[in-house]
Amino acid sequence: MKTIMISIALGFLLNPCFAKTPEEIGLEISEEVVRKDTGWLDSQSELKMILRNRSGDESIRQLRMNTLEVNSDGDKSLTIFDSPADVKGTAFLSYTHALVPDDQWLFLPALKRVKRISSSNKSGPFLGSEFAFEDLNSFEIPKYKYKYLKDEALDGIDCFVVELYPQYEHSGYTRQISWIDKARYIILKVEYYDRKNSLLKTLENKDFKLYLDQFWRPNEMLMTNHQNGKSTSLITENLKFKTGLSERDFDQNTLKRSR
Amino acid sequence: MNYFRSGLLVANLLFLTRAVYAQKAEILDFSFDEGGETSQCILSFSSIPEYNVFILDNPPRLVIDLFDAKPANTPIQPPTKHPAFIRLRYSQRNKTDFRLVLDLNKPVNQDNPVTAVNQSENGMLIVQLNYQAQNTNIEPLTHKMLLPLKIIDTPSTSNVKMDLTRSSDEIYKAEPVPILASKTPLGAGDGTDTLFSNWEISGYVGAENLGFFNDGTDSRQHNNYVSGVIQPEIYRRWDNDKQSFTFVPFYRYSQHDNRRTHFDIRELTWEKATDRWELRVGFHKVFWGVTEGIHLVDIINQTDFVENTDGEDKLGQPMINFAWVNDLGTLDLFFLTGFRERTFPGIEGRLRTDPMIDMGEAQFERHGAEKHLAYAARWSQSFGDWDIGLAHFHGTARQPTIVPTFDTQGELTQLIPYYDYIDQTSLDVQVTQGSWLWKLESLVRLGQGSAIFAATGGVEYTFFDLFESGLDLGVVVEYMYDSRGYNNMTALTQQTIFQDDILTALRFGFNDVQDSQILAGVIFDRTHNTKLFSVEASRRIGDNWKAELELRLFNGIPASDPVFMFKDDDHIRAQLSYYF
């Protein structure tokens, strides 16, 4: 029965005869992106962040991130910082939610202190990088309103171009324009427009790899800030899905033990 | 057309909200048929739930995730070794989802390892495993075995014949093996572990200069102190990260101050964590509390007062700590197995009383084992925006009473720390709402004179990404109350300097590549009109260096205030550290 429903939905989506508003099409495309990326259960990854300033000087951060897919709510994640050395052992626990504010805790290893922190920080930089906190949060449908703009080829790949309008508080953006691969329903590029509606940043997702024959993930996420000339690459060095993590791996006790 | 669209909308809604209304499916039976190149798991249900079946490699495991499902009965482990798998594990992944893991003892076919057939008409899910073709040395016999869900009350609804004749003594209850155990660490696993591999070494070395603007009250004190510090950390984890060992020695050498030159074992801990509990044995550090101005309820570790007067440096505490993790929160039980005395500056040191506190003459209310053993328990839980901790401590106080001795002229000649035997109950609460943090710490202490009540609380509000510059500006306002404070003598002897004080502070987080931070604040004493100014700043230099600066000024201290002893101790501390 469910299969039938999905095929109806797909047929509906792909059939241009139905008169749908750009908003409805945009929402449907985004729902399909989310649906296609459901069922990975959990992941463990090792990430490298390369921060580049205007003159090309690089600074590197090493982190590990565990994520748990949560049905009917935002994901849970635990991020552990390995470098720079002075923040080694600092860990960040986050329970994301679709519309209510996320729950976030920070573990400070020098004091052995777990600190509940405000999750209102959406637009601020993550670890001094060009990624804002909101750029790295899990993607949930109710967080945005959508509008389909056009079809366009990006580097020879047929894409839907969809505009997203953040609906949560404290976002640093008026809108985001996404290029979504029509065949795989993955986001290849995003342009971020700041509160004054001028182009702030561009995210390019590169070198996609297929995991478990189902989930596409970029090997590199390159964020370029057009206003300050800086850029940050987030490189996946190791990524595993379905590793058997449970809720217990995302509680404050685990946060305290993290290194 | 419209008809169709609304129908679709409803259908989509049904699809999306499945988890909300779905009945929890019961797993009634589970059997496993072994047959040479393929084998079958048959699960029968009250109604077929959503499922996800897949194979994990190294070692090969079959994982069956069932959403909105629970077993009808506690699963049990097969008594004998099965030809196809080593053991069966299961866990409740969260409140709704159930996971079964079979550790297979032979590799599966890489191309088509597993197929799941949904026979919803008879409530069964059949999972077929295909092995690697070359593996023909397995028993060809069809081996049927009833597995874990032995239904006692509910008759089996399955129409598959199963061996239900096994007597109860042939089966044993399996240890619920946490799914955590199946986690394959990204680092080296158990297979390549030896005692000498996988040690992680990190830590820092630092050079510090502590400079005072004025001469001390005692002519033996100095105006500038140079010191060096080293704190390496040696760490190893094994057993799929369930067990770890940590060793953190600490040493500071200080010019002039023989008490500040000291060695400590900050940590020497063996730790084991499971799905339901955690156990730590050894020297360890534990922090309780939420506020920024003073750390009132934090009592497990003794303060290393010579390191810093802010009370955030602690001595390692020998302990056995058992944490029981359950749906109602975490219950931490502490058995503290050795008392550590508070450190105080030496005769040539600064930031001390005059005369100095004579650590060598320290006295205790209890002696022997009673002095050394302490017990504590803390329950903590998060409810939405609320984080709550409720704790009790029973044992020798960490904060001594300072007992003065006078000569016949009435001159103060000696100050001796006296450690009472106390009972302390404390509560700490933080409510996090948007950019507001509401904080409260309070305690009741018995055994140190008359009953003591102390509390501190306030708010912290942060303006994030101010002017889209990435700058965070936090404003902290906290009030501190202590029932001992209104008697000056008590205040002196019990070092209760924050008895009716207000902290106002600004925290600047620049969120730059160097992680620059500034915390500037003033503590205003409402009784004595004393003001303590403090500025702390830090910044990373390159990848491995960090510079820290700390300025403390004691302003307008009347002789009646116990901090009068610090009236000449305005100072600036600079430390440059190398992290490795």
Segment B265-274, tens digit of pLDDT:
999 999 999 9
Annotation: CATH topology of B24-152+174-182: Immunoglobulin-like (2.60.40)
CA gap A91, A106 in Å, rounded: 6
What pLDDT was estimated at residue A44?
A: 95
Q: Is pLDDT above 80 for B18?
A: no
Q: Is pLDDT above 70 for B167?
A: no
Whether the Cβ atoms of residue B47 and residue B122 lie closer than 8 Å to each other: no
Q: Is pLDDT above 50 for B154?
A: no
- Pairing of the two strands B412-419 and B363-364: parallel
Q: Which of residues 510-529 of B touch A (CB under 8 A)?
A: 511-515
Residues A72, B19: C-beta atoms closer than 8 Å: yes
List of residues 6+ apart from A140 with CB closer than 8 A: A34, A74, A96, A97, A98
Q: Is pLDDT above 60 for B169?
A: no
Segment A11-55, tens digit of pLDDT:
445 554 457 899 999 999 999 999 999 999 999 999 999 999 999
Average pLDDT, chain B: 81
- Residue B513 is nearest to which of A2, A6, A128, comparing CB atoms? A128
Mind telling me how many Å the CA of A22 is from chain B's nearest CA? 16
Mind telling me how many Å the CA of B560 is from chain A's nearest CA? 33
Segment B287-338, tens digit of pLDDT:
999 999 999 999 999 999 999 988 899 999 999 999 999 999 999 999 999 9
Q: What is the dihedral of CA B442, B447, B450, B455, to 10 degrees?
A: -10
What pLDDT was estimated at residue B7?
A: 37
- pLDDT-wise least confident of B198-207, B366-375, B405-414: B405-414
Segment B31-72, tens digit of pLDDT:
776 666 777 777 888 888 888 888 887 777 888 888 888 777
- The candidate with the shortest Cα–Cα distance to B63, out of A244, A40, A54, A7, is A244
Q: Provide the CA B113 distance to its chain's centre, in angstroms.
A: 40
- Pairing of the two strands A76-83 and B224-238: unpaired
Segment B353-366, tens digit of pLDDT:
888 888 889 999 99
Query: Is the CATH number of domain B190-579 3.90.25.10?
Result: no
What pLDDT was estimated at residue B12?
A: 38
What pLDDT was estimated at residue B249?
A: 97
Residues B464, A124: C-beta atoms closer than 8 Å: yes
Whether the Cβ atoms of residue B283 and residue B270 lie closer than 8 Å to each other: no
Mind telling me how many Å the CA of B68 is from chain A's nearest CA? 10
What pLDDT was estimated at residue B198?
A: 83
What pLDDT was estimated at residue A202?
A: 97
Instruction: Return the residue of A nearest to B513 by Cα.
Output: A128
- β-strand partners of B85: B104
- pLDDT-wise least confident of A155-169, B93-107, B234-248: B93-107
What pLDDT was estimated at residue B201?
A: 94
Residues A88, B579: C-beta atoms closer than 8 Å: yes
List of residues 6+ apart from B332 with CB closer than 8 A: B286, B321, B322, B323, B324, B376, B377, B378, B379, B380
pLDDT tier at B489, thresholds 50, 70, 90: low
The ipTM value here is: 0.86
What pLDDT was estimated at residue B23?
A: 54
E strand or H helix that includes residue B405 = strand B401-406
Q: Which part of chain B has CATH 2.60.40.3500?
A: 24-152+174-182
- pLDDT-wise least confident of A79-83, B173-177, B222-226, B543-547: B173-177
Average pLDDT, chain A: 90
CA gap B157, B44 in Å, rounded: 8
Q: Which residues of A touch B513 (CB under 8 A)?
A: 51, 53, 59, 128
Q: Which part of chain B has CATH 2.40.160.100?
A: 190-579
CATH number of the structural domain A2-257: 2.50.20.10
Whether the Cβ atoms of residue B426 and residue B296 lie closer than 8 Å to each other: yes
| Residue B33 CB neighbour total at 10 angstroms | 18
Strands (E), B36-104: 38-45, 50-56, 61-67, 69-71, 85-92, 98-104
What pLDDT was estimated at residue B5?
A: 40
- β-strand partners of A239: A45
Q: Which residues of A touch B382 (CB under 8 A)?
A: 103, 116, 252
Residues A120, B434: C-beta atoms closer than 8 Å: yes
Q: Helix or strand or coil: residue B18?
A: helix
Mind telling me how many Å the CA of B507 is from chain A's nearest CA? 14
pLDDT tier at B527, thresholds 50, 70, 90: confident
Whether the Cβ atoms of residue A124 and residue A137 lie closer than 8 Å to each other: no
Q: Is pLDDT above 90 for B14?
A: no
- pLDDT-wise least confident of A145-154, B391-400, B448-457: B448-457
Mind telling me how many Å the CA of A37 is from chain B's nearest CA? 14
Q: Which residues of A touch B12 (CB under 8 A)?
A: 5, 9
CA gap B138, B83 in Å, rounded: 8
Query: How many A×B Cβ pairs under 8 Å?
Result: 175
What pLDDT was estimated at residue B131?
A: 76
What pLDDT was estimated at residue B295?
A: 93
